[in-house]
Structure 1
Amino acid sequence: MALARSAQQKTTGRARERRSTVSVVCKSLFGRWNQPSASQPFVKYGIRPATALLAAGTLAVTPSPKLSGGQVEVKGLHHVALLCENLERSLAFYQGVLGLDINPERPHHKLPYRGAWLWIGPEMIHLMELPNPDPLTGRPQHGGRDRHFCIGVASVEPLVGKLEAAGVQFTKSMSGRPAVFFRDPDMNCLEVVEMESWR
């Protein structure tokens, strides 16, 4: 029995060792494949191996069964759509504070509401001047606990200076990563994180 237990512990130890060295590969918002190197383990960026999630018990995620039919070939993220109350105010924020450019190839005159398309690398933000059905009060103070999307930048510090100059409140990432969370004039939450080490 002791021999069987010893063999089981060795097997379990080897399995743990294999699982803890699994490389995480993801595609960034910029459409580039990111692979952590041995000198930069993925845990540094707040990504935990699946075994850590499984050990969390109730926090573990069970994969949903895939529906039958043809394979969906996902190519990446095309755009994020955001509701705004006043297009000019939103453009002043996204162009003035974040420095984003309008995509002139996506004219908005064919749609029954005002809006604009802004570049984020090869992807876009679609601003839509429409009524917001969601309550704007009662949202978490820290944007990392609210629905949000994330933009990758080379350095967060220039943005922090611009946010401070514009009087935009922000919070730093609670994980210690070089990232900030803040809201646009319509309470849409954004995260901006340094992505250079992921490329």
Structure 2
Amino acid sequence: MASLVSRRPVLGARAGRARNVSVVCGKSLFGGPWSAKPSVPYSKYGGTGLPSALMTAPAGGTQKVFGTGPAIDFKGVHHVALLCENVETSLAFYQGILGLQINPDRPHHKLPYRGAWLMIGPEMIHLMELPNPDPLSGRPEHGGRDRHFCVGVAAIDPLVSKLQEAGVPYTKSMSGRPALFFRDPDMNCLECVEMESWRG
């Protein structure tokens, strides 16, 4: 696919001055196709990693669609990656309390850090024992006001019983749905919602 590059003035998010930003279509914005090394520092985009042209829609219009060709055929979420301080502590939570099982088809010994792959329905949670840049204190009491991921359960009551038995705090959804929020030992937040038919 041919790359389409346009250069036009974009208002700097911090400096408040117009500057030229390359908008690349059909190619990674960061150098070659999926280059690991950005050709333009993130700071050029106001620290967001994306130029302003990609983040805002024109006044009174709709968001511009970049690139050509067929739409991306997304299939769903394959896994959610969570940082943890200690794999054993996390496994005591996810296996011992939630009852999740390790996926034997995803061995972790090939990665340069400790971790584990856990099955959660048809998807997975990837625990990674790596330094966590997020603060563990001062997080919102209600997980619905923090970063979280949501999974469906057939019934919410068994989960409530498990959390209460283990002394894990939780809060109910403020929308009135049969859903609740709780955190793991590393303050990662999970939401579980009762669904009669998963993705139905």
Q: TM-score, normalised by structure 1?
A: 0.66
Distance in 1 (alpha carbons) for counterparts of 2:63 and 2:109: 40
Shift of 1:111: 0.3
Alpha-carbon spacing, 1:63–1:107, altered in 2? closer, same or farther (3 Å): farther
Name 2:117's counterpart in structure 1.
117
Distance in 1 (alpha carbons) for counterparts of 2:94 and 2:63: 37
Shift of 1:95: 0.8
Alpha-carbon spacing, 1:63–1:169, altered in 2? closer, same or farther (3 Å): farther
Q: Does 1:98 align with 2:64?
A: no
Greater alpha carbon shift after TM alignment, 63-72 vs 87-96? 63-72
* 1:53-77: CA deviation from partner (whole Å, max 9, x where unpaired): xxxxxxxxx8632211343211111
Distance in 2 (alpha carbons) for counterparts of 1:124 and 1:185: 18
User: What letter matches 1:119 in structure 2?
Assistant: M
1:71-150 matches, within 5 Å, as 71-150=71-150
User: What letter matches 2:139 in structure 1?
Assistant: R
Alpha-carbon spacing, 1:113–1:66, altered in 2? closer, same or farther (3 Å): same
1:1-199 matches, within 5 Å, as 64-70=63-69, 71-197=71-197, 199=200
Shift of 1:120: 1.2
Shift of 1:132: 0.1
Distance in 1 (alpha carbons) for counterparts of 2:63 and 2:96: 42
Identity of aligned residues (%): 75
Q: Secondary structure at the match of 2:94?
A: helix
Uncovered stretches (5+) of structure 1, i.e. residues with no partner: 1-61
Structure ranking higher in strand proportion: 2
Q: TM-score, normalised by structure 2?
A: 0.66
Q: Which of the pair has the greater relative contact order for Cα pairs under 8 Å at 6+ separation?
A: 1
Name 2:16's counterpart in structure 1.
none
Q: Secondary structure at the match of 2:68?
A: coil
What value does the CA root-mean-square deviation take over the aligned residues? 1.4
* 1:2-30: CA deviation from partner (whole Å, max 9, x where unpaired): xxxxxxxxxxxxxxxxxxxxxxxxxxxxx
Alpha-carbon spacing, 1:108–1:65, altered in 2? closer, same or farther (3 Å): same
* 1:160-184: CA deviation from partner (whole Å, max 9, x where unpaired): 0110110100001111111110000
User: What letter matches 1:64 in structure 2?
Assistant: Q
